[in-house]
Amino acid sequence: MSKQLHENIVLYDKKFAPFIPYSEIKERVAALANRMRKEYEGNNNLVFLVVLNGAFMFAAELLGELDVNGVVSFIKLSSYRGNSTTGVVDDVLGLDCNIEGRTVVIIEDIVDTGITMQHLLDSLKKKHPARVDIATMFFKPESFRGNYEVKFVAMELPKEFIVGFGLDYDGLGRNYKDIYKLVNERG
Ligand code: IMP
Ligand code: MG
Q: Is the CB of 90 under 6 A from ligand 1?
A: no
Triad 174, 99, 137: Cα angle to 5°: 30
Q: What is the pLDDT of residues 111-141, one digit of tens each?
A: 999 999 999 999 999 999 999 999 999 999 9
pLDDT band at 91 (very low <50, low <70, confident <90, very high): confident
Q: Is the CB of 104 under 6 A from ligand 1?
A: no
Q: What is the pLDDT of residues 48-86, one digit of tens each?
A: 999 999 999 999 999 999 999 999 999 998 765 444 444
Q: What is the pLDDT of residues 144-182, one digit of tens each?
A: 999 999 999 999 999 999 999 999 999 999 999 999 999
Structural domain includes residue 173:
no
Query: Rounded CA gap, 61 and 79, in Å?
Result: 27
Structural domain includes residue 31:
yes
Where in the sequence is the domain holding 34, given as residue range(s)? 23-158
Triad 29, 167, 94: Cα angle to 5°: 90
Does the predicted model carry a pTM greater than 0.75? yes
Structural domain includes residue 101:
yes
CATH number of the CATH domain containing 151: 3.40.50.2020
Q: What is the pLDDT of residues 12-36, one digit of tens each?
A: 999 999 999 999 999 999 999 999 9
Question: Which ligand approaches the C-alpha of residue 161 most closely?
Answer: 1
Structural domain includes residue 167:
no
Structural domain includes residue 170:
no
Q: How many domains does the chain have?
A: 1
- Whether 112 is a known active-site residue: answer yes
Cα 117 from chain centroid (whole Å): 10
* Ramachandran angles phi, psi of 108, nearest 5°: -125, 155
Protein residues placing their CB within 5 Å of the ion ligand 2: 54, 109
Structural domain includes residue 172:
no
Query: Rounded CA gap, 33 and 35, in Å?
Result: 5
Q: Is the CB of 79 under 6 A from ligand 1?
A: no
161 CB-near residues (< 8 Å, 6+ apart): 169, 181, 182
For residue 44, report the distance from its CA to the centre of ligand 1, in Å: 32
